[in-house]
Amino acid sequence: MSESSKQATWGGRFSKGPAELMLRFSESVSFDQRLALFDIQCSEAHSAMLAEVGLITETEKAAIHSGLAEIRNQVEAGKFAWDESLEDVHMNIEQALTEKVPEAAKLHTGRSRNDQIATDMRLFFKSACSELDGGLKAVLAALLDQAEKNQQVYIPGYTHLQRAQPVSVAHHLLAYVEMLGRDLDRVAAVQEEANWCPLGSGAIAGTTLPIDREFSAKYLGFVDADGTPRVSRNSMDAVSDRDVHLDFAYACSMIGLHLSRLAEDFILWCSSEFGFVDLPQSFCTGSSLMPQKKNPDAMELVRGKSGRVIGDLQTLLTMLKGLPLTYNRDLQEDKPPVFDALDQTLISLQVVEGVVSGLQMSSEKCAEAVADPALFATDVVDYLVRKGVPFRQAHHIIGALVAFSEEHAVPLNELALEDVQKVDSHFEADWVDCFDVEKALAARERTGMPGPAQVSSQIEAWSDRIS
């Protein structure tokens, strides 16, 4: 078959086929074959609808469906012969189908590749969001498990990467639970946004044929909670809209960003300087030169890959911003960044789950760090406030006390009571209780604070939510 006659779907007005270079340049089947099962689903729905409204017979529909079933089997078995000269996933499947089933020449009645690809992608997004939901919940479960185990392991919390105030490891990990919990909501919102059916919008202006868009939408599961079909309302918007691609890439970017921050904390924590955590060997690598090294490569790659996913979002934004209505071939470039964003996000989630599940907090190193009395300086301010000293004044007094302790090289909590009382007469013997980490945390039991009862109730609430 010559290249031009192979282009059976649009070759009619052409006397010459595309140049070999053009075929190589414009093909998308090398990446959009990933949509094959969604494309087949879409064609099943469309042909069922054509039969329903009488545009094809039940026999023709049955033939098309059995041909599609055969192709589905081939695709699933990895035995379908993809042909780049047939451009994209749609033409490959339609061509193979027509070779098996002559009735398939009627399949493209009342539809265009423009509404077809928009529909395939929405089916893809619904399924991709379910995968992300599963990946996020697995990481959340691992974080909650470590939080549960590390409620009584305390570390300094940091601001400006300087020791600030003590917290439990559990409270620190729960901060990431909150972030990834917001990601769950974001992913659910994208899934909801994907739930509109563009099929029937045609190339740009629908069709004169009596199709039933609601039938197709329902067939494909584009329905609301009551089962009412959700069909797009403007054919021009429907074939050119890529908002859900952007929403999806943004949701992936946010997951990547949160995982990257988590990775950065673990990278710091496993350094000799911190020593708070021992990361599982199965997710670390050694050095070819330095025998002592155990490098947190998995976490560094999670941090690195988030940049790549943010790049995918940027690619889509840049591609779309100047496009006139409606479909433009530029839009074919929407798929690689979307697939990349999903793949990198999913594998990053799996790796983080593996690392979090296997990590071991080093209670000794954590205890050493949290013994730094300076971490409790704010609690000493509160001590004076409770005795009626105005906050600004109390802050100043403790500042002077810190300077005094540094000057005399005596740790803050070991200053003699009479020296402390010289600085301010409100101090009594119980002032040293301020340096007890358990007491410091037990005093913080208002909502969202790191008090132990708060922390355990947050762990419980989140566990309920993801189970």
The residues of the shown chain that bind ligand ARG, judged by CB under 6 A, are 28, 32, 88, 113-114, 117, 327, 329, 331-332
The token duo for 218 is 């329902």
The residue (of 94 and 379) whose beta carbon lies closer to ligand ARG is 94
Of 3, 216, 213, 147, the residue nearest 459 (C-alpha): 147
Q: Least Å distance between CB 122 and ligand ARG? A: 13
The whole-angstrom separation of Cα 362 and Cα 360 is 6
- Specify the 3-state DSSP secondary structure of 223: strand
Q: Return d(Cα 240, Cα 250) in angstroms, integer.
A: 19
Q: Looking at beta carbons only, is 71 or 398 nearer to ligand ARG?
A: 71
Euclidean distance between CA atoms 207 and 193, whole angstroms: 25
Q: Could you tell me the smallest distance in angstroms from the CB atom of residue 295 to ligand ARG?
A: 41
Nearer to ligand ARG, 215 or 327 (CB): 327
Shortest reach from residue 83's CB to ligand ARG, in Å: 14
CB of 29 to ligand ARG, least distance (A): 8
DSSP 414: G
Strand ranges in 130-192 using DSSP code E only, listed in sequence order? 154-159, 162-168
40 vs 440, beta carbon nearer ligand ARG:
40
Minimum Å gap between C-beta 16 and ligand ARG is 18
Contact 145, 71 (CB under 8 A): no
Q: What is the DSSP string of 14-58?
A: -SSPPPHHHHHHH--HHHHGGGHHHHHHHHHHHHHHHHHTTSS-H
Tokens (6 digits) for 39: 């494309």
> Cβ of residue 308: shortest distance to ligand ARG, in angstroms?
22
Nearest in space to 85 (alpha carbons), one of 18, 149, 133, 148: 18
Q: Which candidate, 34, 133, 40, 24, places its Cα nearest to that of 87?
A: 24
Q: Fill in the DSSP letter of residue 7.
A: -
Cite the active site residues. 160, 287
Whose Cβ is closer to ligand ARG: residue 28's or residue 454's? 28
Of the pair 26, 73, the CB lying nearest ligand ARG is at 26
Burial-class residue 119 by CB neighbours within 10 Å (0-12, 13-18, 19+): buried
